[in-house]
Chain A
Amino acid sequence: AQTVTQSQPEMSVQEAETVTLSCTYDTSENNYYLFWYKQPPSRQMILVIRQEAYKQQNATENRFSVNFQKAAKSFSLKISDSQLGDTAMYFCAFMVPGVGSGAGSYQLTFGKGTKLSVIP
């Protein structure tokens, strides 16, 4: 079974500073995908960034980037130039395509989340 661990329940960062959220996962699969989702207080889950395990290059999306260490099974999220709108719960998630009771199942396994507060 796949597991995802986020060891930082809460973090805070000053506006315009950089913060890194940690995530580790456990799997015996070789082909999988990793995601960071953001859930603001309004509660709608939004995809922040994704990484394919077969790609060595770390994904980046504007101010968001990841440090993917496949051997260490680590997938951290770096947020640069933090903004007040970044305040939210951040969830690390893992997906093995096609794994499940039905062919083609694409189920996400989530960590428990990190609550990030950006301080003015």
Chain B
Amino acid sequence: ETGVTQSPTHLIKTRGQQVTLRCSSQSGHNTVSWYQQALGQGPQFIFQYYREEENGRGNFPPRFSGLQFPNYSSELNVNALELDDSALYLCASSSPGQGMSEQFFGPGTRLTVL
């Protein structure tokens, strides 16, 4: 069974640029959630995708957007990067249809905005 993978591992961007982060869900999981973890903080929910549709969103501006593909992999896009977007971005996959939804996390992408 393949776990959740994310790419890239690290990324450095400058303010105003755009970035795309990628996530492959665990085999058999149809739901992907994205979280932002600032340094020294707990993860904050960005949004969730279920069967290619957005299925819940946290308190993040519209410049944070996402996609889910037919194979349930997902992308997180951030436009007009700001310094405060520097964080660890975590992807988690789950399958709500299988009872209580345990979320399996990937290793994260560390984004630095200069």
Q: A-side interface residues toward B, CB under 8 Å?
A: 4, 33, 37, 42-47, 50, 52, 91, 93, 95, 97, 100-113
* Known pairs A43-B88, A102-B50, A102-B55; A107 contacts B108 (CB<8 A): no
1/0 contact trace for B5-26 toward A, CB 8 Å?
Answer: 0000000000000000000000
Q: Which residue of B lies closest to A111 (CB)?
A: B42
Distance from A35 Cβ to chain B, minimum over Cβ atoms (Å): 8
Partner of B55, one of A44, A47, A104: A104
Q: What size tier do the contact residues of chain B reach?
A: 20 to 34
Query: Which residues of B are found within 8 Å of A110, using beta-carbon distances?
Result: 35, 42-44
**Residue among A37, A44, A113 with max Cβ neighbours from chain B (10 Å):** A44
Q: A97-B100, A104-B55, A112-B42 given as contacts; is B107 within 8 A of A44 (CB)?
A: yes
- Flag B53-67 by CB within 8 Å of A: 1 or 0 each: 111111000000000
A4, A106, A111: most-surrounded residue (chain B CB, <10 A) = A106
